[in-house]
Amino acid sequence: MTDITARQGFLLHLDSSADAAEDSVTRQLTAGFVTHWRARHGESGYRYRDLAADPVPPLSPAYATLGRRVERQGVIPMDRVDRLVRDQAEERQWSLTRPLIDELRGAHTVLLGVPMYNFTVPATLKSWIDRVSFPGAFTDPDSGRSVLEGTRVVAVVARGGGYGPGTPREPYDFQVPYLRAYFGNLGVAEENLHFVKAELTRAGDIPALARFQDLAKQSLAAAHADLTALAAPAAAVRAGGL
């Protein structure tokens, strides 16, 4: 079997902000990462999904029914799921799901633009997460290992206020802990999971946060710098250079 930690792949870029690019901090930051990545890797090997403009449909009863039927088989190759589909509704759900799973499985790096909405991730991103989380989708049937062991996830998170360690709102952060738990549970190695945070992004337009504008600028500048460093040659990433 091919070593799943050494496979080639592409950059999968997902934006989830409801704002247009000119108003979205996460869209601007992920775009900066892509610019640096393309300068090193060229135009090929890049896939993009705008989860706000083209939302992933929410799960249906047919998805849940098919998922339970598959789960009862243990871990099976995704190519065998078709044989367990029983009607048009399930066929429709699987046709919506399989391409997203294949995309995530094939990516070398996953770039996420994640603004904080009501202390957590946007519903657009949650719909994508729910759909790709099909039973056994990321477990190798032969070894039992995660096929995402060698995948790098770069989550660009923006928060209107301050949620860092020691701040009054630190306990309200259900954004970063959720994403860390989710991708860790899928088998992404901790050293391959990167969070780039832009804090206090609303300091420029919310009067109560105006006194934090300097901190906001520092946080944004640091985020840009971190993303430039993370847009490193693929060889360096696979060798643990980050």
Is 17 among the annotated ligand-binding positions? yes
Three state DSSP letters for 28-64: HHHHHHHHHHHHHHCCCCEEEEECCCCCCCCCCHHHH
Residues with Cβ < 8 Å from 6, sequence gap 6 or more? 150, 238
Cβ burial, residue 138 (10 Å; 0-12/13-18/19+): buried
Is 46 among the annotated ligand-binding positions? no
Is 219 among the annotated ligand-binding positions? no
Is 44 among the annotated ligand-binding positions? no
Is 24 among the annotated ligand-binding positions? no
Three state DSSP letters for 171-236: HHCCCHHHHHHHHHHHCCCHHHEEEEEECCCCCCCCHHHHHHHHHHHHHHHHHHHHHHHHCCCHHH
Binding annotation for FMN: 17, 116-119
